[in-house]
Structure 1
Amino acid sequence: MASRPPVHHPSSSDFDQTTQMRRIVQRARELLKQSLPDTFLGRKTFEPFPQQGEPAREQDQ
Structure 2
Amino acid sequence: MKYLYSEIADKLEQDIKNGEFGIHQKLPVENELSFRFETSRLTIRKAIEELQRRDLVVKDRN
Decide: shared fold, TM above 0.5: no
Larger RCO, structures 1/2 (Cα 8 Å, 6+ apart): 2
TM-score (norm 2): 0.30
